Amino acid sequence: MTTDVDLPTAVSRQFPSAAPRPSLDCPAFNVPAGEALALLQYLRDAQACDFLMDLTAIDGSAGQSPRFTVVWHLYSSTKHTYVRVAAPCATDAEPAMPTATRLWAGADWHEREVYDMFGIKFTGHPDLRRILMWDAYPYFPLRKEFPLAGLPTEMSDADINAETGVGVISAPMAGGPFVATPGEPMSAAEPRAKDEAWNEKKEKPE
Amino acid sequence: MAADFSFPDAAAKAATLPKEFDSEKMSLSMGPSHPSTHGVLRIQFELDGEMVTKADPVIGYLHRGDEKIAENMTYNQFVPYTDRLDYIAPLANNMAYAIAVERLAGLEVPARCQAIRVLTAEMARVSSHLMGLGAYGIDVGAWTVFMYCFEEREKLYKLFEELTGARFTTSYTRIGGLQRDVPAGWTRKVDAFCDQFLPILEEILSLLSRNKIFLDRTVDIGVISPADAVAYGLTGPNLRGSGVPNDLRKDRPYSGYGQYEFDVPVGSKGDCYDRYLCRGEEMKQSVRIIRQIVKNFPGGDWYAKDARKIFAPPKDKVLTSMEELINNFMIVTEGPQMPAGEVYFEAENPKGVLGFYIVSKGGGVPYRLKIRSPSFCNLSILPKLCVGHLVSDVVSILGSLDFVMGECDR
């Protein structure tokens, strides 16, 4: 606990490009995508952050650049402290990030999940497939433009589609009565199925 | 079978397997609806005879998009969804989520609230381990254990029902407090449960601990080395079974865990039997914690009184005072108001470490909420762990990992 104070200075000395990231709890850093792995390796080997607890991404929503940020949470089982590392993906259209699987074997499934949900490709990943959704699923559901109710799609098997003629349909009243999104006015949180993919004012997306 | 596990990777290990027959590989799909996969886990095996040469878990059958849902509702509205993560121990999930949001708000709840939360979380741990133990018994052929465990679990559920109004999906916490205070005389019943539970637990464990069949099915099966356990991000009894003494209740005490005396059991070998032993001992330690809380049950408030924009006022005040009515209306419609910022909080749940990473841009709705689920990480070691074992050993390994798919798939 006590050694935690000098971790930010040690990191900024070693990695001048790593800027402190606003955080309410543990030390956090923003690094360029190219240096993320080197910083993670430094934290693991020199700062005893032996656990990769969590790996996820944040979608800054369409129109913002850089749009996707990958976030790693490391935990030190000897110092009992966390470190957060965040790196923005270079391109917004085809986001990519180097894989951490050679540092932690457990990064494998985390990265597959981030790819599944956000479409961020992890370069060098040995087996980058979808993990929660099925392989042929066409969307990335945790991107901000993806509606809560879902979008109709085909099922994974073509023969089942042909036989039944039914695909996956969107949820009719997704979100419950009070659906709200950050930054929207009070009127947007009125009791109705707000997050439909289309309504009287919005075109049905193809 | 389990002589040497210091292999560089799964493929190299598969290459060194004894080749008794020069036959074709067979593929076998186990699950998603299979009694030993504890829910809707599916594993795609490649078998050489009865020996596993490749295992590919297929998950996501229970994916409900919880993280997407969280981005579209207020912080309090998401509490019922946390019940459905690890649905064997909803009270522990409720607590982990509530503390995560309170860290974001910079809110400290009173001692009584903390004690009730720890009490319920430890009872949830006992209930979860009982479930895991009973199901594990069935997996390896011991039906009696299951009946014993479920009887005890039922007693716990009666207590949960009296406290929260629900047996299973408790939704007990609120941001900044609880749904309600403990009913009169309830802690006495908890104490009475502990009194009768300990001898029964000894009896349950004695059915397995020196049981020849159980030992044959678990000892030296599914050995996880400490280095592997750390690399794959294993947590909970699965990590401690491998001898790594990590327990967030000790290492980073939250909700007042620092004031209770308890030990962290660790295994020595990291096989299925060690993980079973750890769970058995953890139940005893949980009972120890429960007894300490009941003995010195703190008085005072059970919710944060000063958090006027976060915790909804009592119903009688809402119906009689204009200001409280407005306050209640704002919390229900707009959600508890949070500052902008990022927090990551992890709690030591029965299955392992459950983490919530919350990105807030202010207001009553999270911008991004990531759930770090222990079952997801614990299962990610399966492709490496199953290789070289018989299919029947896989059943034993799955039972010893004690996962829950509601949490894995989210």
Cβ contact (<8 Å) for A141 and B65?
yes
Nearest residue to B364 via CA among B94, B108, B106, B104: B104
Angstrom distance (rounded) from CA B234 to CA A109: 13
* Residue A16, domain CATH: 3.30.460.80
Q: Using an 8 Å Cβ cutoff, are A96 and A89 in contact? A: yes
- Domain annotation covers residue A200: no
Q: What is the pLDDT of residue B193?
A: 93
Q: Which residue has the tokens 């979608």?
A: A59
Spell out the domain ranges in chain B. 17-58, 66-409
* CB contact B244 to A (< 8 Å): yes
Q: What is the pLDDT of residue B354?
A: 93
Q: Using an 8 Å Cβ cutoff, are B207 and B375 in contact? A: no
The CATH class given to the B66-409 domain equals: mainly alpha
* CB contact B189 to A (< 8 Å): no
* CB contact A56 to B (< 8 Å): yes
Q: What is the pLDDT of residues B4-53, one digit of tens each?
A: 544 456 556 666 666 665 667 888 888 788 877 778 888 999 888 888 98
Residues in chain A closer than 8 A to B409 (CB atoms): 132
- Domain annotation covers residue A198: no
User: Using CB atoms, which residue from A109, A117, A132 is nearest to B380?
Assistant: A109
* DSSP per-residue codes, B268-304: SS-SHHHHHHHHHHHHHHHHHHHHHHHHT---S-SS-
B235 token code pair: 């947590």
- Å from A18 to nearest chain B CA? 18
Q: Which of A167-176, B72-81, B156-165 is predicted with the least confidence, judged by mean pLDDT? A: A167-176
Nearest residue to B383 via CA among A155, A129, A138: A129
Nearest residue to A33 via CA among A66, A82, A10, A62: A66
Return the ∠ at Cα B357 (arms to B356 and B360), rounded to 5°.
Answer: 125
Size of interface A-B (CB pairs under 8 A): 136
Query: What does residue A39 show for φ and ψ, rounded to 5 degrees?
Result: -65, -40
Q: What is the pLDDT of residue A192?
A: 45
Return the exposure string of B184-212: e unless at least 16 CB atoms fall within 10 Å of the residue's CB, then b: eebbebbeebbeebeeebeebbebbeebe
Q: Which residue has the tokens 């990958």?
A: A70
**Domain span holding position A32:** 7-132
Q: Using an 8 Å Cβ cutoff, are B26 and B295 in contact? A: no
What's the whole-number mean pLDDT along residues A110-118?
92
Sheet holding B338-349, edge to edge: B338-349, B352-363, B368-372
Q: What is the pLDDT of residues B113-170, one digit of tens each?
A: 999 999 999 999 999 999 999 999 888 888 889 999 999 999 999 999 999 988 888 8
State the total domains in chain A.
1
* CB contact A138 to B (< 8 Å): no
Q: Using an 8 Å Cβ cutoff, are B350 and B128 in contact? A: yes
Residues in chain A closer than 8 A to B343 (CB atoms): 23-25
- Domain annotation covers residue A177: no
Return the ∠ at Cα B100 (arms to A122 and B115), rounded to 5°.
Answer: 145
Is 60 exceeded by the pLDDT of residue B229? Answer: yes
What's the pTM value of the predicted model, to 2 decimals? Answer: 0.84
Longest dimension (CA), chain B: 82
